[in-house]
Amino acid sequence: MARKYFGTDGIRGATNRMPMTAEMAMKVGMAAGAHFVRGDHKHRVVIGKDTRLSGYMLENAMVAGFTSVGMDVVLVGPMPTPAVAMLTQSMRADLGVMISASHNPFADNGIKLFGPDGYKLSDADEEAIEALIDGDVPLAASAEIGRAKRIEDARGRYTHFAKASFPRDLTLDGLKIVIDCANGAAYQVAPSALWELGAEVIAIGTSPDGKNINDGVGSTAPQVLCETVVASCAHIGIALDGDADRLIVVDENGRVIDGDQLMATIATGWARRGRLNGGGLVATVMSNLGLERHLAEQGLGLVRTKVGDRHVLEAMRSRGYNVGGEQSGHIILSDYATTGDGLVAALQVLAELVRADAPASEVLHRFDPVPQILKNVRFDRTARPLEAASVIDVIASAEAELATGGRLVIRPSGTEPVIRVMAEGDDRGQVEAVVDRICEAVRAAA
């Protein structure tokens, strides 16, 4: 079924424009609350947010929506997305809400929903909520209207949870770590957790003003982190995104280490200690071929999914894997969390660094990525360029040319009218030529 409001990761858009208006946020609260009011117990929803200015508006609107259908609301303030998922479980809530647009600019915002098990909602739940948004939601009787309460110890609860994922026999004593919190949701909890584990912490991106989230800082803008690591002679740099479910690392030389390298580091380390489930890891079609080859050399497998952490998580749960993620740094470690958790993933990377007692540039560079080229081609929404015979022929020719020495991924974007054309292989010139040829064919057919 086509979605009207929900995308690949909740509802997202520019604030004060549909669907990110206060009115819509209230309707989502009413619809989601009505959908999850089941049984005769007192129902509860946990609401967290990142540091965007619009978070105040959307938070209050959602409180009105949830309380109007009889749900009590627990407000935890600025907290990472994985913290909201954890608290939803821990507090036996019926629903969890994270108000965030992740790595997007401050003018955007979004709504992510978690079920009582701490996992993102199923397609069926999202479709049921969409139907209620556009329908009539029964309101609670006057005596059954919900209450709202803000709890002050949520940061401490999550900090303790994250620290508990770090091996008890290790500390971060002697490590100088630069942490970039993107002026986002983890601006307090991430530096605190690292300091409490013994690290010397240099924190940047920890002065949110409502408008500077992800602005020149964070996992999508690591240049300041790279410069700070080198200038301060730090051992490693860690960058989170606006809602702290994504992680990018910088080694002591200021070189960026992406999610593929980090997943390889964690998976091979866990495999050595006999705690890697599934005999490998789960990643998307966008992860580098070098990762797949490296894992094969270690006797480990790679399961690929469509782009999106929800697809990664679905495959992990159905196949029994406990490590998965995306090249962008969205890493899911299901032994600890029900969604991507940048801080928990960072602590696992740091554990490998401590155990190896070697520079980050050696420990975290697990393989040489093969050349990978990605280009986007815009098209008219009414056109179907990938169904054109000319495009199909060019793609078939490219697949034959790359054969076993490379890989081709062509897919329409889920958020904008573009076709994404990605190819990778050992010969950069060949890869670039293949991508250009396909892009030209798509443009001609669009």
Cis bond before residue 19 (omega within 30° of 0):
yes
pTM: 0.93
Q: Is 102 a catalytic residue?
A: yes
Q: What is the mean pLDDT of the chain?
A: 95
In the structure, what pLDDT confidence band is assigned to residue 39 with cuts at 50, 70 and 90?
confident
- Give the distance, in angstroms, between the CA of residue 254 and the centroid of all CA atoms in the same chain: 23
What's 20's DSSP letter?
B
The pLDDT tens digits for 395-427 are 999 999 998 789 999 998 866 789 999 999 999
Residue with tokens 């700070």: 228
In the structure, what pLDDT confidence band is assigned to residue 21 with cuts at 50, 70 and 90?
very high
Lowest mean pLDDT among 34-38, 68-72, 229-233, 411-415: 411-415
Degrees, nearest 5: CA angle 13-17-23 = 105
Q: Which domains does the chain have, with CATH numbers?
A: 11-152 (3.40.120.10), 157-255 (3.40.120.10), 259-341 (3.40.120.10), 372-445 (3.30.310.50)
pLDDT for 416 equals 76
Residue 173's identity, in one-letter code, is D
The pLDDT tens digits for 199-250 are 999 999 999 999 999 999 999 999 999 999 999 999 999 999 999 999 999 9
pLDDT for 415 equals 67
Residue 281 and residue 269: Cα distance in Å, rounded? Answer: 12
CB of 164 closer than 8 Å to CB of 333: no
What's 404's DSSP letter?
G
In the structure, what pLDDT confidence band is assigned to residue 7 with cuts at 50, 70 and 90?
confident
Residue 141 and residue 387: Cα distance in Å, rounded? Answer: 54
3-state secondary structure 111-168: EEEECCCCCECCHHHHHHHHHHHCCCCCCCCHHHCCCEEECCCHHHHHHHHHHHCCCC
In the structure, what pLDDT confidence band is assigned to residue 2 with cuts at 50, 70 and 90?
low
54, 68, 102, 219: the catalytic one is 102
Kindly list the distances between the CA atom of residue 324 and the CA atoms of 26, 218, 320, 328, in Å, as whole numbers in the listed order. Answer: 34, 21, 11, 12
Average pLDDT over residues 302-327: 95
Q: Is the pLDDT of residue 345 over 70?
A: yes
Q: Is the pLDDT of residue 1 over 80?
A: no
Q: Is the pLDDT of residue 88 over 60?
A: yes
Phi, psi of 181 (to 5 degrees): -95, 10
